[in-house]
Amino acid sequence: MAKIIACSLIIKDDFNNVLILNKRVKRGEIETWSILNQKIKGKEIHDKCITRCAKENLKALVFDVKEFKEYIFNKETDESIMVCTGEIRERFILDSKKYKDSKWVSIRNFQDYNFIECEKEMLKDFFAS
């Protein structure tokens, strides 16, 4: 089993739409969309990492957190990213220092947004399940 170094959270609603976030970028960088993700601190378990991530970036609590899939990040060092799904049941307040926008997307229109390749794969797998 690979060492989990980060966690990603696919936040979904009752209609299977997914919350995506537009990261702030420096001048000259390409603007991308992403799902919520966070590096694991020390010996933290991925459940705690996800809770901390949602609290820091969305100022909201995540409910019904379930493990979705583990993705290999680096085969040489045997590191992986744990992807979980969850729901928020309240309005969230986006951390304006890290993100500039958020949207709910469905299986029909998530391909219209610019994601890094591994996150696009995660969303494809989620919508296929």
Sequence-separated (6 or more) residues with CB below 8 Å from residue 50? 7, 9, 38, 62, 65, 84, 86
Question: What pLDDT digit, counting tens, does each position of 75-101 carry?
Answer: 888 888 999 999 998 899 998 888 899
Predicted TM-score of the model (pTM): 0.89
Indicate the pLDDT class of residue 25, thresholds 50, 70 and 90: confident
Q: Show the domains of the chain with their CATH numbers.
A: 3-128 (3.90.79.10)
Mean pLDDT value across residues 25-32:
87
Mean pLDDT value across residues 24-28:
87
